[in-house]
């Protein structure tokens, strides 16, 4: 059975994005409720603010993705960067709501959709470019979440990848080496 290039692109993009979602969630599992609201300095965002932003972006971009501009009139982007003091559960609900919207829209796409034109702030983009844009944007913010988690937990951090000094052991181990393939 031969798989088309477009289908392969969609399937691998979804796997990669699910992997980054899981990295965020594995970080949340290591945090206290208060940790979500820690900001390293005034120029930095807390994990709570990053979650607010990701959710707002995903809901705006991926609601009616193929038929409406990705910057919805109802989105309040600047408000996403304000401190709202949401509870842990409220933040996890925002996280899920955004990711569910995004992943449902992505999994509904077909190969025929990939070359269609969508709009973000009235700027035309191919569906492929819009997906690639999010493949860069969302992992960027998940990386920030992980970094803040590591700062907070320090020596108590449970590594989500290959631990320092253990690359050779990991490379010699059996099994799938690319964790995104398990998504």
CATH of the domain at 37: 1.20.120.450
Structural contact between residues 51 and 94, judged by C-beta atoms closer than 8 angstroms: yes
- Between these two residues, 16 and 167, which has the higher pLDDT value? 16
The whole-angstrom distance between residue 141's C-alpha and the CA centroid of its chain comes to 7
Structure tokens at 69: 């501009």
pLDDT tens digits along 12-45 = 999 999 999 999 999 999 999 999 999 999 999 9
Contact 38, 57 (CB under 8 A): no
Which domain, by its residues, includes 100? 5-182
Q: Is residue 130 classed exposed, middle or buried when 0-12, 13-18 and 19+ CB atoms within 10 A define those classes?
A: buried
Conformation bin of residue 32: beta by default, left when phi > 0, alpha when psi is -120 to 50: beta
pLDDT > 90? residue 2: no
The pLDDT tens digits for 132-146 are 999 999 999 999 999
Domain total for the chain? 1
What token pair was written down for 158?
A: 């449970």
pLDDT over 90 at 57, yes or no: yes
CB 180 within 8 A of CB 11: no
Q: What is the residue-averaged pLDDT of the chain?
A: 93
Lowest mean pLDDT among 84-98, 135-149, 166-180: 166-180
| pLDDT higher than threshold 70 for residue 156 | yes
pLDDT band at 165 (very low <50, low <70, confident <90, very high): confident
**Taking the mean position of all CA atoms in its chain, how far away is CA 81?**
17
Q: What pLDDT is stored for residue 163 in this prediction?
A: 80
* Backbone torsion region of residue 157, taken as left when φ is above 0, otherwise alpha when ψ lies between -120 and 50, otherwise beta: beta
Q: In the predicted model, is pLDDT for residue 177 greater than 80?
A: no
Give the three-class secondary structure for 125: strand
Instruction: Tell me the pTM.
Output: 0.92
Confidence category of residue 181, pLDDT binned at 50, 70, 90: low
**89-94: average pLDDT:** 98
Tell me what pLDDT residue 3 has.
84
Asked if the model's pLDDT at residue 126 lies above 90, the reply is: yes
Q: Which residues on neighbouring strands pair with residue 125, listed in sequence order? A: 118
Higher pLDDT, 178 or 45: 45
């Amino acid at each position: 059975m031969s798989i088309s290039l477009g289908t392969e692109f969609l399937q691998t993009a979804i796997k990669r994005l699910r992997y980054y979602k899981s990295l965020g969630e594995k970080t949340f599992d290591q945090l206290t409720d208060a940790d979500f609201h820690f900001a390293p300095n005034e120029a930095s965002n807390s994990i709570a603010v990053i979650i607010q932003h990701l959710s707002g972006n995903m809901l705006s971009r991926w609601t009616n993705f193929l038929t409406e501009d990705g910057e919805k009139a109802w989105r309040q982007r600047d408000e996403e960067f304000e401190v709202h003091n949401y509870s842990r559960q409220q933040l996890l609900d925002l996280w899920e709501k955004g990711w569910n919207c995004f992943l449902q829209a992505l999994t509904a796409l077909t190969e025929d959709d990939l070359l269609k034109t969508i709009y973000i702030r009235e700027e035309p983009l191919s569906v492929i470019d819009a997906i690639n844009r999010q493949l860069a944007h969302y992992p960027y913010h998940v990386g920030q979440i992980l970094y803040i988690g590591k700062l907070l937990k320090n020596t108590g951090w449970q590594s989500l990848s290959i631990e320092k000094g253990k690359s050779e052991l990991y490379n010699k181990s059996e099994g799938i080496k690319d964790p995104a393939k398990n998504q």
